[in-house]
Amino acid sequence: MVMKQPAEKLSVQELIAQSRSKRSKKVVEKIMPILLFITALISVLTTFGIVFTLIFETIEFFTKVSVIDFLFGTEWLPFSGKEPMYGILPLILGTLKVTFIAVLVAVPLGIAAAIFLSEYASDRTRRLIKPVLEVLAGIPTIVYGFFALTFVTPVLQEIIPGLKIFNALSPGIVVGIMILPMIASLSEDAMTSVPNAMREGALALGSTKLEVAIKIVLPAALSGILASVVLAVSRAIGETMIVSLAGGATPKFDFNVTDSIQTMTAYIVQVSTGDAGYGTTIYYSIYSVGFTLFLFTLLMNLLAHFISKRFREEY
Amino acid sequence: MVKLSVKDVYVAKGQNLKVVSKEEKQTVYHSKKLNLWYGEHHALKDIDLEMKENEVTAIIGPSGCGKSTYIKTLNRMVELVPSVCTQGEILYRERNILDNKYQVEELRTKVGMVFQKPNPFPKSIYDNIAYGPRIHGIKNKKVLDEIVEKSLRGAAIWDEVKDRLNQNAYGLSGGQQQRICIARCLAIEPDVILMDEPTSALDPISTLKVEELVQELKENFSIIIVTHNMQQAARISDKTAFFLNGEVIEYEATNHIFSTPTDKRTEDYISGRFG
């Protein structure tokens, strides 16, 4: 078959020049950056909007309650009709109790899982387990909540006789299970990105696999691992549904984990779902608690950012 | 008694003089009918090589000829590649290392390796050198200090780093990093040092330093070096093996192979006609 030559020879450069001269392309090139900028602006403005709302309503709250009482008071009794008390320490302590237990559960398990996945598991095993971890991360927290209340608490009550139905232990453990995939997955990413050349260098000196994992890979990935832990802690602090369902609603200033507690988030839920009237002190109190919570998580995120920059072992 | 240097031995051998057995060098490595496959790919074919102690053996050949694969088989690092399969024997000091009973950690404690790209650990210079002794159970600080100094001196880098032993090894230049890796290897006083293109990522001056170092090291160690650079093989090695397509084409004393190669293919490669 003989290829027919086109009557007019068109060079590629000419075709490109033709398409270039089209108006529509120029317009799109001009408009797109503006559109993209607007979408970026929306997310930034929303964030500022939320923060400003928090700040203004919190300031309003502090015209009714003194800052000192709020920060250092050890009683949180907003519903006691005659003399309501707004000392946030019991709520913070409740949050910290749950977070601490969650960290105790999630950090060792998460890092161990990460070591297994990055250093020992075959490609096939990893391909199987990683999606499962991600599914675990996708379970709605309300499901974790009634899992804590209807399964973990009864089981724990068998083991620990004095355990109340609402307590810090059960939601703590379940929050730990919730943040575990996050630690495992992010730590695994950090460890997998340690160059293989380093493992080889260590193996060539006669190290065992475990020595390579513990003494070379773990320290080299430390910044990523610490950052994952801090991010997970920040999620544990902000966790709401699990603690609302299984933690109870009695803020207490003590270190008991078997008794009912209340966290900052659970208090906000309690007030928001109840019928506190607009403009009452209780109404404004949720903003002050929310603002405190925001400061905590902001601090954690900044810390994670700082750690991942500061402790990066260069390679 | 006259102490013969390595060169003398070869001169002596070349003249067909019988060298007294006391001066005869012990065999370090002896591979017999070694075959290796990566899955379907037959990467090493019937390799028969014998390497002597206190010598520098160079392995040359074009890319993909199996030279790196071979050197990685000598400390079984090749096993890190999935789907590797070997056949035949490699005797290290008369024991078959391909035997499953041979503990690979034990082998690698005796046989050190320096890699193509410098790969210090992201730790201080001191901890890099002390890593090997530490994992093998040496904890005493004074002993470790001594080992670190001795190894760094041995790798001719002590003077450059002695004031900053606590700094991260990644702050050093590429050539210095490579000498740190050599020092790290010396710290456990191995018997053999395998070098897999140790200068291919280095500048000419660093390359020269490493080459000089190799010359010094062979007094105490047996060295097997894979190199892309034929001049390098000619400069530093006592014996040279030429690999092509997974086979050993020629294995001779270096001056012999570079002056009067027996095989046509060796000649073509050395004279730069391919590869």
The structural domain count of chain A equals 1
Neighbours of B65 (CB within 10 A): 23
Interchain CB distance below 8 Å, B108 and A206: yes
Beta strands in B61-146 (DSSP E): 84-92, 95-96, 111-114
Per-residue tokens: B20: 């007294």
Q: What is the pTM of this model?
A: 0.82
Chain A contact set for B113 (CB, 8 A)? 204
Residue A43 lies inside a defined structural domain of this protein = no
C-alpha distances in angstroms, B177 versus A190, A201, B208, B218?
A: 24, 13, 15, 21
pLDDT digit string, tens, across residues A259-279 = 999 999 999 999 988 877 888
- Largest pairwise CA distance in chain A: 101
Residue A3, pLDDT score:
55
CATH 3.40.50.880 correct for B6-270: no
pLDDT score at A163: 92
| pLDDT of A314 over the 70 cut | no
Answer whether residue A49 is part of any domain.
Answer: no
Q: Which helix (H) or strand (E) holds B52?
A: strand B41-52
Provide the residue range defining the domain that includes A292.
Answer: 76-310
pLDDT in tens, A155-174: 999 999 889 999 999 999 99
Which of B77, B120, B123 is nearest residue A204 as measured by Cβ atoms? B77
Is the pLDDT reported for residue B9 higher than 70? no
In a domain, A7, yes or no: no
Contact partners, residue B45, CB within 8 Å, separation at least 6? B35, B245, B246, B247
CB nearest to A197's CB, from B75, B109, B115: B115
- Using the Cβ of B80 and the Cβ atoms of chain A, whether some distance falls under 8 Å is answered with yes
Contact, A133 vs A178, CB < 8 A? no
Other CB atoms within a 10 A radius of the CB of residue B117 amount to 16
pLDDT at A210: 95
Distance (Å, rounded) from C-alpha B59 to C-alpha B61? 7
Q: Does B117 touch chain A (CB under 8 A)?
A: yes
Predicted pLDDT at A15: 84
Average pLDDT estimate for B160-177: 93
Residues B181-199 have pLDDT tens digits of 999 999 999 999 999 999 9
- For chain A, list residues whose CB is within 8 angstroms of any CB belonging to chain B: 195, 197-198, 200-208, 211, 215-216, 219-220, 313-315
Residue A9 lies in a domain: no
φ and ψ of A205, to 5 deg = -90, 5
| pLDDT tens for each residue of B69-85 | 999 999 999 999 889 99
User: Does residue A122 have a pLDDT over 80?
Assistant: yes
Domain-wise residue ranges, chain B: 6-270
Facing residue for B135 by CB, picked from A195, A207, A220 = A207
pLDDT tens sequence across A70-95:
999 889 988 877 788 899 999 999 99
Residue B275 has pLDDT above 80, yes or no: no
Are A205 and B184 inside 8 Å of each other by CB?
Answer: yes
Q: Is B192 on the interface with A (CB under 8 A)?
A: no
**Is B120 close to A201, i.e. CB distance below 8 A?**
yes
- In 3D space, the residue among B44, B2, B52 whose CA is nearest the CA of residue B25 turns out to be B52
User: What Cα–Cα distance (Å) separates residue A66 from each residue in A142, B10, B19, B214?
Assistant: 35, 94, 99, 76
Q: Looking at residue A270, which CATH number applies to its domain?
A: 1.10.3720.10
Q: Which residues contact A24 (CB under 8 A, 6 or more apart)?
A: none
Q: How far is CA B116 from the centre of its chain?
A: 11
- What are the beta bridge partners of residue B248? B243
Give the confidence band of A8 by pLDDT, cuts at 50, 70, 90.
low
Residues in chain A: 315
Q: Which residues contact B90 (CB under 8 A, 6 or more apart)?
A: B29, B30, B31, B32, B34, B73, B74, B96, B97, B98
Rounded Cα–Cα distance for residues A43 and A41 (Å): 6
User: What values do phi and psi take at B83, rounded to 5?
Assistant: 65, 30
Please, what is the average pLDDT of chain A?
90
Rounded to a whole number of angstroms, the distance from the CA of B109 to the nearest CA of chain A is 5
- Report chain B's C-alpha Rg in angstroms: 19
